[in-house]
Structure 1
Amino acid sequence: MSARLTRYGAFLGTALAIASLLALAGPAVTAEAASYCSGRVVRTVPFSGGEVVVHKKAGYVCAATVARRSGPRRAMSVGVQARGNREVLDRGRYRSHAGPVVVHAGNRCVRVSGSVGGRSVRSGWIMC
C-alpha cells in the first residue's frame, strides 16, 4: 500500500507542476494577443522589431506598436497622422508596447509609424 501511495503522490506532484507551468504560460500568450484599441483591426504593419496594429471605429483610428518580444524597457514609439493634420506620437521607454494613439480621421487617409529599439516602420497613406 505504501508503494501505491508513493506513486500516486508522485503522479499528483507531476500533474500539479505541469498545471502550474501551463497557468504561467497562459497569461503571457493572452497579454501578447491583447488589444490596446477598440474597434476592428483594419491593418497590421509588421517589421523586424514587432508590428503596428491599426484599429478603426466610428471615424477614429487607433494604433499601437507591439514589440515582438516583451523584455526590458527600451525605446518604442507609435504615431498616427490623418491627412492634413499633424502626427500624434507616443514615444518613450516601454517593455511590450507603445500607445495606443487615437486620432479622428473621418474618411481621410492615415499614415502610421512605429519603432522598437533601432528598428522602425512607416506606412504610406492607407485606408483611403
Structure 2
Amino acid sequence: MTRGTEGHARGARRGLRRHAVVLALATALALVVGGAVAGSADAASVCAGRPKKTVKFATGELRVYKSRAYACVTAVAAKPGKRRPMSVTIQPRGGLPVTDSGRFTQLAGPVTVHALNRCVRVSGKVDGKGARTGWILC
C-alpha cells in the first residue's frame, strides 16, 4: 500500500467504528424506550396498517387493519391464558379465504391478504364463540 492509501483505509475503518458505536447506542436506546412501551396495552399491533374496525364478541374480538394494498386481521382473546381453540379468516372479494387456526393462548393470526381496491370479510372464533362481518373496507 502506498502512504496515501494506507491513511485513507485507516480513516475509513475509524469512520466505520464510529458508525457502529452510534448504531449500537441508538439500538440500546430504542430497546430501553421501546421496552417500557412494549408491555403496555397500547403496544404496536402485529398487523401492518391502521386499525379500521374492531368487532367484539363474548370471548374476544376481531381487529381489522388496512394498509394501502393489504388488509390484515387477528382474533384476540378477551382473557389470555390457557390454550384454547381459536381461528381467524379473511377473504378478499373475488379471492379465496385465508385462515389461521389452532390452540393459542392469546391470539390467532395475523392473516393478511392483498386487498387493493377490494372489500374483505372477516370471521373469527375464540373458544367456540365468535363473530363475522359482511363485506367491509370497500
Match of 2:51 in 1: 41
Match of 1:9 in 2: none
Partners of 1:28 and 1:47 in 2: CA distance: 25
Match of 2:100 in 1: 90
Q: Give the alignment partner of residue 53 of structure 1, picking from 63, 70, 74.
A: 63
Match of 1:70 in 2: 80
Partners of 2:64 and 2:77 in 1: CA distance: 14
Q: Which runs of 5+ in 1 are unaligned?
A: 1-25
Please state which structure has a larger fraction of its residues in strand.
1
* Alpha-carbon shift at residue 30 of structure 1 (Å): 2.1
Q: Report the aligned-residue RMSD.
A: 2.0
Identity of aligned residues (%): 52
TM-score, normalised on structure 2? 0.69
Equivalences, count = 103
* Alpha-carbon shift at residue 29 of structure 1 (Å): 6.0
Q: Which runs of 5+ in 2 are unaligned?
A: 1-35
